Structure 1
Amino acid sequence: MNIIPEITRECITDLINNNQREDGRNLDEYRDIGIETGIISKAAGSARVKIGNSQVIVGIKPQLGEPFPDTPDVGVLMTNGEMLPMADPKFEAGPPSEASVELARVVDRGIREIVDLEKLCIEPGKKVWMLFIDLHIIDFDGNLFDTATLAVLSALKNTKLPVAKMVDDESVINEETTMDLPLRGTEAMCTFVKIGENVVLDPSLDEEAILDARLSIGITDAGSICAMQKGGDKPLTKDDILEAVSTAYSKVPTLIEKVKNA
């Protein structure tokens, strides 16, 4: 956790209690968002997303494999998060940290609602597409949940799968013919933190360092909540949660539109 001076904590809290923020944003306002797709030539799909100075790169690698025994006609989706030391001094090389595992799981939880895994089946019980999604945190300035979710969504929409079929119990891949990744829709996530008396959207690094509680909400373009994650040591009130959900519903369409226009 970032350690910040008490005077900075008090200054940020006082501003938020007065409906202001140190970077001049409204309490329910995102920082600038930038999206690029197709940035990794060797990946089937890729994207780079920036929210403020936070930056995440995503690459997607598909390969054929055997399905899990309990889901013989469903494709496999695996999400991995890597917080690179170059992104923040507190990130360390080596096994995944608790924060990177949480990030990968929360992002994975949301996108499972929109990837049509049944259409990734080549032959039940024998061959399915397995999608390996790698998140690389390049710069960290707060709110990785929303940044990573936008990056994965953008990479999924950029993904092309080669056509595959079974011939005499052998899988045959036609690399020259590709298809779009089958998706049921789109999804975006909005992350809020409670500081002092108010809830704010898209926390900066300093705001995350002093948060009382955090709430991330994933919503599909169909209007259903597909993921929710609570963080922080202190509770949220019913009014805090309802306010966050209402704001998320108003912001998600704009986030999804940015992905479509990327």
Structure 2
Amino acid sequence: MPREIDPAISQRAFVLSALKDHRLRVDGRGMQEARTPELIFGDEMGWVECRFGKTRVIAQVSGTIVRPRADRPYEGLLNIHSEISPMASSVYDSGRPSEEEVVITRMLEKVLKKSDALDRESLCIVAGQQVWSIRLTLHFLSDEGNMLDCACLAGVAALKHFRRPEVEVIGEEVIIHDPSERAPMPLSMHHTPICVSLAFFEESAHPILDPTRLETQLASSILAISVTNTASPSPTLCVLQLAGGMPLSTEELTSCIGMAVARARVVGAFLERRLADDWSQRSVRVEVH
């Protein structure tokens, strides 16, 4: 009687063999070829759905007026919350944060907060008394790999898409203008951070860009790179995080950063085009009405 072969082992051998011998990926992409992102904007400002293939993340931004922190009286607040729905994958449980969710949230905290992507001083209304508190909520709807890059793009797009009411301070009085009276204000951003993830395999000398879920599971290490100021001649490295036990040489890291810079420029330009297109469509609808 022939010996039965575990489908998972067979699939792993096929994927790794294709990467090693032929530099091919299961979905037909090249080694440094990323999936084409999609951005879908909702009717509400600050609501964005981002798709990387079948990976889907929804980002939503809201703002409320609160008292500032005592040690930072001139700064507003940015809070990031995430939730991976069980519908994203059967490995996630409802009501209990998974390890991947914690890792993604911590990475986004570094990318968006610690890099000062959002100008928090511009959120101050009355120093020491009233500031804007911006809440970014991420809902992970489908996990087909590389949720970090998808979530980062969704979050940045939602922050740049969001508009807050204009606030005027007259003496001791703070007036919040209705959007019908005065046009809402965009958030002030210092730069546009873009996340780029690469997967490394011991069986292959070349990393792959934008790994799928299966490739992530089989990878020896995952390198996440965040690049800021993507439109400038000299982009700035924001965050570099390596997960896994495969060591990388200085030359390999330099090469990966170069790939991340090139990818971030493409994604950053795509983001600005989509934001401009959405704003143009909204302006046309307003004129028609």
| TM-score where L is the length of structure 1 | 0.92
- 1:231-252 CA distances to partner (integer Å, 9 max, x unpaired)? 1243333333222111001111
- The aligned residue for residue 187 of structure 1 is 193
Greater fraction of residues in strand:
1
Residue 105 of structure 1: how far off its partner (Å)? 1.9
- The aligned residue for residue 216 of structure 2 is 208
Greater fraction of residues in helix:
2
Segments of 5+ residues of structure 2 without an aligned counterpart are 1-5, 275-289
Residue 79 of structure 1: how far off its partner (Å)? 0.7
Residue 133 of structure 1: how far off its partner (Å)? 0.3
Q: How many residues align?
A: 257
User: Matches of 1:232 and 1:63 in 2, distance apart?
Assistant: 39
User: Matches of 1:251 and 1:208 in 2, distance apart?
Assistant: 19
**Structure of higher RCO (CA pairs closer than 8 Å, 6+ residues apart):** 1
1:143-154 equivalent positions in 2, closer than 5 A:
143-154=146-157
From 22, 25, 28, the equivalent of 1:24 is 28
Segments of 5+ residues of structure 1 without an aligned counterpart are none
Q: Which moved more, 1:205-214 or 1:14-23?
A: 14-23
- The aligned residue for residue 262 of structure 2 is 250
- The aligned residue for residue 227 of structure 1 is 239
User: Matches of 1:163 and 1:180 in 2, distance apart?
Assistant: 9
Q: Which amino acid aligns with 2:147?
A: L
User: Matches of 1:158 and 1:82 in 2, distance apart?
Assistant: 21
- C-alpha RMSD over aligned residues: 1.8
Residue 40 of structure 1: how far off its partner (Å)? 5.5
| TM-score where L is the length of structure 2 | 0.84
- The aligned residue for residue 124 of structure 1 is 127
User: Matches of 2:171 and 2:149 in 1, distance apart?
Assistant: 45
The answer to whether the 8 A contact 1:35-1:47 is kept is yes
Q: Which moved more, 1:49-58 or 1:231-240?
A: 231-240
- The aligned residue for residue 53 of structure 1 is 54
The answer to whether the 8 A contact 1:160-1:181 is kept is yes
Residue 166 of structure 1: how far off its partner (Å)? 4.1
- 1:198-222 CA distances to partner (integer Å, 9 max, x unpaired)? 2111000110111101111111124
Residue 171 of structure 1: how far off its partner (Å)? 3.9
- The aligned residue for residue 84 of structure 1 is 85
Pick the structure with greater CA Rg.
2
The answer to whether the 8 A contact 1:214-1:231 is kept is yes
What secondary structure, in the 3-state scheme, does the structure 1 residue paired with 2:166 have?
strand
**1:4/1:96 Cα in 2 relative to 1: closer, same or farther (>3 Å)?**
farther
- The aligned residue for residue 14 of structure 1 is 17
